[in-house]
Amino acid sequence: GENVEQHPSTLSVQEGDSAVIKCTYSDSASNYFPWYKQELGKRPQLIIDIRSNVGEKKDQRIAVTLNKTAKHFSLHITETQPEDSAVYFCAASIGGFQKLVFGTGTRLLVSP
Amino acid sequence: DAGVIQSPRHEVTEMGQEVTLRCKPISGHDYLFWYRQTMMRGLELLIYFNNNVPIDDSGMPEDRFSAKMPNASFSTLKIQPSEPRDSAVYFCASSNVGGQGISYEQYFGPGTRLTVT
């Protein structure tokens, strides 16, 4: 079935460094790729998303890139801060519709 | 808007008991999703509704699980009978799709932490 692979599972960086999380998807009809941040004990919250007609999107320190040919998309966080520490999930829509399949998550730890 | 509302926030029950989780989506949203999150399996979609109609229940693990959406502002997820392996955090989410089937943000509720002993 459709799946989304996410790497790495854990990522430790020093404050101020950049962090990159990568995902691959299998459904060629996927057209929507959101990224969610989940802090411990909290709900997942959308931080950025990208649609298939765009190759890159940026929002302050966060950017997402999409390569539809290779079925890859990535999250880039620059100038990381301790409050960026959380679990990050990528997701891809299935069949071009509302159904999302989530990656397994990346635990990001930003050390001061 | 208060966002997606779920109740109860925590539920502890004994194996074999019936459990009912409740969700109120954001007003005006026409999609509602039920997810289950565990360490082992991550975030899994159980079922989703569009305009109160179940669209895809392929993620429902077995017949012990059922979900209903009697109106646009209320949905339930029921487990009967419950088992220890059902212990997880259950999230409800809602969204509003735009034109041409383009997906939009799913807003998650705070979740219900279910423990079955």
Summarize the confidence of residues B53-62 as an average pLDDT. 92
E strand or H helix at A102: strand A100-102
| Residues of B whose CB is below 8 A from A39 | none
Contact A43 B102 (CB under 8 A): no
Q: Which pLDDT score is estimated for B99?
A: 58
Contact B48 A44 (CB under 8 A): no
Residue type, B37: Q
Cβ pairs bridging A and B (under 8 Å): 50
Q: Are A2 and A25 in contact (CB under 8 A)?
A: yes
Contact A45 B108 (CB under 8 A): yes
| Residues of B whose CB is below 8 A from A32 | 102-103
Q: For the CA atoms of A41, B97, A106, A3, what is the dihedral angle to 10 degrees?
A: 120
Q: Are B18 and B9 in contact (CB under 8 A)?
A: no
Contact A43 B43 (CB under 8 A): no
Alpha carbons B113 and B7: distance in angstroms, whole number: 10
Contact B109 A43 (CB under 8 A): yes
Q: Which pLDDT score is estimated for A97?
A: 66
Measure B80 CA to nearest chain A CA, in Å: 25
Mean pLDDT per 10-residue interval, chain A, length 112 residues: 91 97 93 94 95 89 95 97 97 83 96 94
Alpha carbons B72 and B93: distance in angstroms, whole number: 13
For B22-41, write each residue's pLDDT tens digit: 999 999 899 999 999 999 88
Measure A104 CA to nearest chain B CA, in Å: 6
For B59-93, write each residue's pLDDT tens digit: 998 899 999 999 999 999 999 999 999 999 999 99
Nearest CA in chain A to B4: A43
> For an interface test with A, which of B29, B39, B41, B43 has the most A Cβ atoms less than 10 Å from its Cβ?
B43
Q: Which pLDDT score is estimated for B45?
A: 95
For B94-110, write each residue's pLDDT tens digit: 998 765 655 578 999 99
